A and B are shown apart, each in its own frame.
Chain A
Amino acid sequence: MAASRIMETIPNGDGDDDLFELVAVGRSCRAVRFDVTHEDHEDLEAQHSHEPRHRNSLQRNSWSSSTQRVLSSMPSRSIRWNQTAAVSQYQSRSTKTRRRRPPNTPCTANQEVFREAQNCAVDGTQKEELLNKLQDLSAGECVRLLREMPLSFSEKHEIRSLVFCLKAEEPISANRALCCHQFKACFLKVLCGGWLRFQLWQKVLKNISARFGTGVLSYFIFLRRMLHYNILLFLISGIFLLLPQISNPPPPSKDNDTDLWMVTGTGILTDSVMFYGHYTNHTSGNYNIPLAYIFSIGTGMFVTCVMLVYSISKSFGKSFCTFKTTGNIALKVFCSWDFKVCRKRSVKLQSVNICTQLKEMLSELSCRKQKRNLCSTLGWLSVHLLVWSICLLSIAACMIAVYYIHPKIKPGGHKNNVELLTLPLVVSCISHLLPGFFDMLSRGEYYDSPSVHIYVSIARNLLLKGCIFSVLCYYWLTKIGYSQEGQNKQCWETLVGQELYRLVLMDLIVSLLYIIFAEFLWGLCIGNITFRRRKLEFDIARDVLELIYGQTLVWFGVLFSPLLPAVQIGKLFLLFYFKKTSLMKNFQAPRKHWRATQMSLLFIGLLFFPSFIGALTCVVYTMWRIKPSSHCGPFRNRNMLELGKKWIINLENSNPSMQWLSWAYVHLVDNPLFLFIIAGLFLTIIYIHMQVLDGQKMIIEKLQEQIDHEGEDKKFLIAKIQALNEESAQL
C-alpha cells in the first residue's frame, strides 16, 4: 500500500513551530486522474459503478435566455412557495380531518408548524394560523414547539407573548401550567443525574473537546456516566444498609493487625462494614438487616438496569439511520467538521485530516475496484486465521494461568499478605497488556474498512476480559462456595469480597502505573528521540473496555462487599484526573474519524449486555443456589431469595395493611402463567412494531423512486422547452 506522508508545520501557542507528521495511506491503484471529459471508457465505467443512479448532468451553460427565464419563474425555485404550499395543504387537510383527529396532536403537526414558522415572518395571516394552532396545545408542548421553530429570537418572543396573551382568559392556570411544566422538567433532570452531569467537570470536558474533538470526549463522558451509576448504587446501599448497621454495631472481634491491610482488604477491614461478614443476621430494633441487605442490593441493581436501558434507548434514537450509507463524500463535506474543536493547532489538524480523507475518497473513486484473486484471498484468510489462533491461544493460556494461581490462595494458607496480591496483579497485567499485544498483531492484517478493524479489536478484547471474569466467577462460586462445612470457619463471602476488592484496587494501581510508564515516559521518549516528534494516539476503544471490565467487577462484588461502589467512585475520580493530565501532555488529536454517536451506542450496549447482565446473572445465581456460610453474615445457612419470598408471603399475617403486596407477589410474580402472558404480550408488541417499521421502509423506497421519476420528467421537459425555444429562435 502506498503511503504518502504529509509533513505539516503548525505553529503552537508558544511561538515555536511543531512539526507534525500526518500519514495518509492510499490504496495501490493506477495514478489518480481527474478526467472530467470521460474520454476513457474504463474510467466512465468506474464512475458509473460507484453511482447508484444513472445520471447525465444537464449542460446548463448552453440554455438560451428564454429557457432561463422560464426556469427562473418555476414555482419551486422559491423556498417560501414551498412553505405556502405546505401550509395551504395542511389547512385543507386539517379542516377535513378536524372531526376525526383530537386537537392536541402536536407530533404530526410538528413538521407543518416548522415550515409555517419559516414563512410566518413574511405573512401576517399565516401567523394567525400559527397562533391558533399553538393555542390549542398545552403549555409544555407549546414551549417545546416554540424552541424548535427556526425563527429569530424577537419573532419567537412576539409569538410567545401573543399566545400567552390569548390564553390570558385564565392567566393563573396558564402560569401554573407553565410552572408545572418547568418543575417537571427540572425534576426529571435531577432524577437522571442531570444536575451532576451539567456541573461536574464542565470546564475540563470543554477543554478536552476543544483540543481533541468529540471522539476522545466520549471516553470521558462515559467515565462520568459510570460515576453516576456508582454514586446511585452507593447511596442506595449506604442509606438502607450501611447506616442501620453502623448505628447498631455487633461486638468487635479480635483485631489482628496485619500489614498492607488497606490494599489486601484483610486485617481491620475483614470485620468492618466493608464486607458481608460483618452484617448481623437479626433484627436490630425494628430494622431487619438481612431483608434490608437483599432489598437494597436488589433495588440498586434494578434502578441501574432501568437507567441503562433508558440510556441505550436514547442513544439508539440518536444514532439510528434508516438509509444505507451511500453518499459518503457529501456527508464528509457537511457533517465532519467538529465545531467543538477550537484550539488553533487542533483546528488546523482537523482541516488537514479532512483534506486528506477527501483526497483518499477521490482516489478510491478513480480506482478500479480490484478483484481479489484466489491467491490473495488465501493469503488474506491465512493471515487472519493465524492472528485469531494466536489470540485465542493466548486467551486460553491466561485462563489456565488464572485458574491455577488460585489454589494458592487458601484461607489461612498464605504466609504473608503479599502473596494475596499475586492473583490480582496477574489478572490486571493480563487485562492491560494483552490488548496491546493483540493490536500489534492486527497491524499485519488487512481490513476492508477501518470500522471493521475497530470491531474486531473490540471483540478480541471483550473475549479476553469475559473469559478472565468467567474463570474467576467459576472458581469462586464452585470451589469456594461449596467448600466443606467444618473445614474452615471463615466466611467464604467475605473471602470473595476481599478478592474482588483486591482486584478493583490492583486494577487501579496497574492503570496508574501504565499511565505513568507507558504514556508519560514512553511519550517523552517518542517525542524527544524520534525525529518527527510524534505524539501518542488515544485508543478510545481499549480504555472504554477497561472501564467496562472494572464496572463488571463492582456490580458482581456489591453483593459481597456493599462498600465496593464507594471504592469504585474513588477509583474513577483518580482515573479521570490522571488520564486527563496524561492526555493533555502526551497525546495528539486523533487522525481518523471516530463515529462518536455509533460507538457510544455500542459501548453503552456492551455495558448493558455482557457486563451488567453477566454480573446480574452471577449475583442472582449466588442468591438462589449457593448456600451462605453458616457462621457469619446476615443469612447464615438461610437461602437469600427464600428469605425474601417468605417475608413477602408472610406479610399478610404480620402486617394486614400490606396484604395487597403479598397477594400481588403470590398471584402475579410467582405465577408462571401470568409471566407467560406478559412475555407473550411484549413479544407481540415488538413484532407489530417491526412490521410497522418494515412497512415504512417500503413506503420510503417507493417515495424515493417517485422523486427519481419526477426528476427525470423535469429534465425531459426542460430539454423539450430548450428544443422548442431553439426552433422558434431559428424561425
Chain B
Amino acid sequence: MGNKQTIFTSQQLDAYQDCTYFTRKEILRLFHRYRDLAPQLVPLDYTNQPEVRLPYELIGSMPELKDNPFRQRIAEVFSEDGEGNMTLDDFLDMFSVLSEMAPRDLKAYYAFKIYDFNNDDFICKSDLEKTLNKLTRNELTEDEVRMVCEKVIDEADLDNDGRLSLEDFQHMIVRAPDFLSTFHIRI
C-alpha cells in the first residue's frame, strides 16, 4: 500500500491480479522467488516486459518441485515453448493453477495435461504406465502395472475407446473431493 515498487507498472500488476488468483503482495513475492532462481538473468525492472526465460533446470531445482516426480511434466505443461523453460508469466500461471483458490475444473484440465505424456489429448495406456512408474518409483512389477492400467481404463473410460479423454478424467475427478487439496502446492 505505502511502498512504491518499481518492478511492474500498476497496469501490469492489475493484469496479473485479474488473470491469476494472487494478490499484489503475493505476485511481488513470487517475482522475487522467480528472480532468486537466477538473479543475473532476471532484471529488477519488468516495466518494458523483457523476454526472460529461465531454463527448466533452474525451475526444477526449486524446493517445492525438486523432489516431485512430475516436475518435468508440470514445467512442460505450463511453459509456452513446451520444453519446460518458463517466463515469469508461465511461472505465475503455474502457481496460480496449483494454488488453493483455483476451481476444480481448471485443476482437472491441467492435471489431465500433466498426465498426458505424449500430448495427444488422451491419456492412453502408455501414459498411464509412465504415470504409475513415476508414482511408485518403478516398484511395481510389469504384471502389476499392466493390471492397474487395465483396471483404471475399465473404471474411468466411459465411451469405451480404450483411453481417457478429458471428459472421462473430469467425470472421475468429480468423485474425488480430495483432489482439490492434493493438487495444491503452497508457495
Interface residues of A (CB under 8 A from B): 34, 36, 51, 55, 57-58, 60, 76, 78-79, 114, 118, 143, 146-148, 150, 152-154, 156-157, 160-161, 178, 182, 205-206, 209-210, 214, 318-323, 325-331, 333-340, 342-344, 347-348, 351-352, 354-355, 358-359, 362, 365, 595-598, 704, 707-708, 710-712, 714-715
CB of B19 within 8 A of CB of A147, answer: yes
CB of B156 within 8 A of CB of A347, answer: no
Q: Given A147-B20, A362-B144, A329 and B67 touching (CB < 8 A)?
A: no
CB of A711 within 8 A of CB of B160, answer: yes
CB of B146 within 8 A of CB of A206, answer: no
CB of A321 within 8 A of CB of B146, answer: no
CB of A335 within 8 A of CB of B147, answer: no
Partner of A358, one of B128, B136, B154: B136
Residues of A within 8 A of B60 (CB): none
Partner of B180, one of A57, A318, A322, A355: A318
Complex Cα gap A352–B137 (Å): 8
Residues of B within 8 A of A338 (CB): 182
Q: Given A36-B147, A209-B186, A333-B148, A351 and B106 touching (CB < 8 A)?
A: no
B142-162 vs A, Cβ < 8 Å mask (1 yes, 0 no):
011011101110111011111
**Cβ-closest chain B residue relative to A598:** B177
Q: Given A154-B89, A351-B69, A354-B135, A327 and B155 touching (CB < 8 A)?
A: yes
Is B139 an interface residue when CB atoms closer than 8 A count as contact? yes
A82 to chain B, nearest CB (A): 8
Complex Cα gap A206–B185 (Å): 9
Complex Cα gap A15–B139 (Å): 23
**Cβ-closest chain A residue relative to B186:** A206
B109-150 vs A, Cβ < 8 Å mask (1 yes, 0 no):
111000100000100000010011001110110011011101
Complex Cα gap A178–B19 (Å): 13
Is chain B's interface secondary structure helix, strand, loop, or mixed overall? helix
Complex Cα gap A597–B104 (Å): 13
Interface residues of B (CB under 8 A from A): 14-15, 17-21, 63-70, 80, 89-90, 92-93, 96, 98, 102-103, 105-106, 109-111, 115, 121, 128, 131-132, 135-137, 139-140, 143-144, 146-148, 150-152, 154-156, 158-162, 165-166, 169, 172-186
Q: How many pairs of A and B residues are in contact by the CB < 8 Å rule?
A: 200
CB of B175 within 8 A of CB of A323, answer: yes
Partner of A355, one of B14, B111, B140: B140
Complex Cα gap A24–B128 (Å): 24
Complex Cα gap A25–B7 (Å): 56
Residues of B within 8 A of A114 (CB): 105
Complex Cα gap A156–B130 (Å): 31
CB of B18 within 8 A of CB of A143, answer: yes
CB of B18 within 8 A of CB of A334, answer: no
Partner of B140, one of A148, A178, A340, A359: A359
Residues of B within 8 A of A152 (CB): 80, 89-90, 93
**Cβ-closest chain A residue relative to B159:** A711
A358 to chain B, nearest CB (A): 6
**Cβ-closest chain A residue relative to B123:** A334
CB of B182 within 8 A of CB of A339, answer: yes
Q: Given A333-B152, A714-B159, A342 and B105 touching (CB < 8 A)?
A: no
CB of B173 within 8 A of CB of A351, answer: no
**Cβ-closest chain B residue relative to A712:** B160
A598 to chain B, nearest CB (A): 6
CB of A147 within 8 A of CB of B18, answer: yes
CB of B90 within 8 A of CB of A153, answer: yes
Complex Cα gap A153–B17 (Å): 11
